[in-house]
């Protein structure tokens, strides 16, 4: 059987057990969990301010222990779970993907963000490469500005789309713990590949109405679940107006750097890069000033296919890293505001 069409049940089970023990174990035992599941040559990629960590023990002490201390009674609430063979040939590997929210009681500060004592939900998506019964690579992307906004902070000027706790798939079919029909995964991958390739008409400067371009890849009732600072938007017309058009107008010198992993299973698929894009802010996007400085966007996209086109898209962008490359340290400024330092207009970083 072609490895692209196997069921990946062993890899899925390994990652599910890893998740279970991460949640169940106290902070003092997380390093033992890492020893059981993580390879010695581990590579972990996370959003700013974590970046790359090449040590399982440091991941436990620098990320998981502080997070579990801050978000007490932590739960992993998954909306999508899938696996597959990487279609990026020069990267390869079998990868397991999950997406949803890490939820807990926000009882202690995290990264300088003040606790609320209330439920907090940190949107996340992670990709895990599994080889010889161990996890060798992880990319875990998490929306820190979303957590800031739950704590009453305002890291960005008012966004163009809606800010909300994002739900899972409309079909509730994203948790693919069992074997899926390989033919459905191939259809999903084809839809994603078509969309990625078609965006090159924008990068190549071809002029046409944006909504016409989008309709080649998306169903009319598409939903784009964007990160905090940009927001969520619904239907092709509103997506074009509330995100895609401002994004294209506010970014120049766009370079596509490729993906590290791209997989699909059933009606779902996705990819991540490190970074996916390099762009130069020309002013206006997210209400931020022009910098004329190239910046990298690390992005995870997760998609749901309906028929031959895409219907839902969950997007994770390391906006803190991108704006930090522009000389705007949003994390430091906004946590300084929380600590009583001087604020900009309406408490937003300017």
Q: Are strands 277-281 and 251-256 parallel, antiparallel or unpaired?
A: antiparallel
134-142/277-281 β-pairing = unpaired
Residue whose structure tokens are 């400085």: 293
Please indicate, yes or no, whether the overall pTM of this predicted structure exceeds 0.75: yes
Which option is the CATH number for 3-150: 3.10.450.50, 3.40.30.10, 3.50.50.60, 3.40.50.1470?
3.10.450.50
Domain ranges of the chain: 3-150, 182-347
Q: Which CATH architecture has domain 182-347?
A: Roll (3.10)
3-state secondary structure the chain: CCHHHCCCHHHHHHHHHHHHHHHHCCHHHHHHHHHHHEEEEEEEEECCCCEEECCHHHHHHHHHHHHHHHEEEEEEEEEEEEEEECCCCCCCCEEEEEEEEEEEEECCCECCECCCCCEEEEEEEEEEEEECCEEEEEEEEECHHHHHHHCCCCCCCCCCCECCCCCCCCCCCCECCCCCCHHHHHHHHHHHHHHHHHCHHHHCCCCCCHHHHHHCCEEEEEEEECCCCCCEEECHHHHHHHHHHHHHHHEEEEEECCCCEEEEECCEEEEECCCCEEEEECCCHHHCCCCCCCEEECEEEEEEEECCEEEEEEEEECHHHHHHCCCCCHHHHHHHHHCCCCCCHHHCCC
Domains 3-150 and 182-347 share a fold: yes
* Segments of the chain with pLDDT less than 50: 1, 3, 203, 341-350
Using one digit for the tens of pLDDT, what is the confidence trace for 129-145? 999 999 999 999 999 99
State both tokens at 5. Answer: 């069409």
How many other CB atoms sit within 10 Å of the CB of residue 44? 22
Q: Would you state the pLDDT for residue 278?
A: 97
Confidence (pLDDT) at 250: 92
pLDDT at 220: 98
Q: What are the Cα distances from residue 120, in Å, to 28, 104, 146, 271?
A: 23, 6, 10, 26
- pLDDT at position 148 is 96
Strand partners, 105: 72, 119
């Amino acid at each position: 059987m072609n490895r692209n069409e196997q069921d990946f049940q062993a890899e899925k089970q390994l990652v599910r057990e890893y998740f279970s023990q991460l949640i169940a174990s106290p902070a003092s035992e997380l390093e033992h969990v890492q020893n059981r599941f993580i390879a010695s040559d581990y590579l972990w990629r996370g959003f700013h301010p974590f970046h790359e960590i090449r040590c399982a023990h440091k991941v436990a002490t620098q990320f998981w222990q502080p997070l579990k201390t801050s978000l007490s009674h932590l739960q992993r609430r998954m909306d999508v779970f899938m696996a597959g063979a990487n279609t990026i040939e020069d990267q390869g590997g079998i990868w397991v993907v999950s997406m949803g929210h890490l939820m807990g009681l926000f009882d202690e500060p995290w990264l300088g963000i003040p606790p609320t004592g209330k439920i907090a939900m940190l949107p996340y998506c992670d990709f895990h490469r599994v080889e010889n019964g161990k996890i060798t690579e992880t990319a875990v992307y998490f929306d820190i500005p979303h957590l800031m906004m739950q704590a009453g902070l305002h890291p960005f000027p008012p966004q163009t789309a809606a800010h909300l706790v994002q739900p899972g798939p409309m079909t509730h079919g994203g948790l693919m713990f069992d074997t899926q029909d390989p033919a459905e995964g191939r259809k999903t991958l084809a839809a994603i590949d078509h969309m990625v390739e078609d965006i090159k008409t924008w990068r190549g400067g071809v002029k046409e109405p944006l909504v016409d371009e989008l309709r080649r890849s998306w169903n009319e009732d598409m939903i784009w679940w964007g990160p905090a600072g940009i927001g969520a938007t619904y239907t092709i017309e509103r997506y074009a107006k509330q995100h895609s058009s401002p994004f294209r107008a506010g970014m120049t010198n766009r370079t596509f750097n490729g993906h590290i992993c791209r997989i699909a299973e059933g009606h779902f698929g996705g990819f991540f890069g490190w970074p996916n894009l390099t762009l130069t802010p020309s002013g206006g996007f997210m209400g931020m000033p022009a910098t004329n400085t190239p910046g990298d966007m690390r992005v995870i996209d997760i998609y749901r296919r309906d028929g031959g086109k895409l219907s839902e898209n969950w997007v994770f962008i390391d906006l803190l890293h991108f704006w930090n490359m522009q000389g705007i340290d949003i994390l430091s400024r906004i946590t300084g505001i929380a600590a009583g330092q001087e604020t900009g207009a309406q408490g937003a970083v300017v």
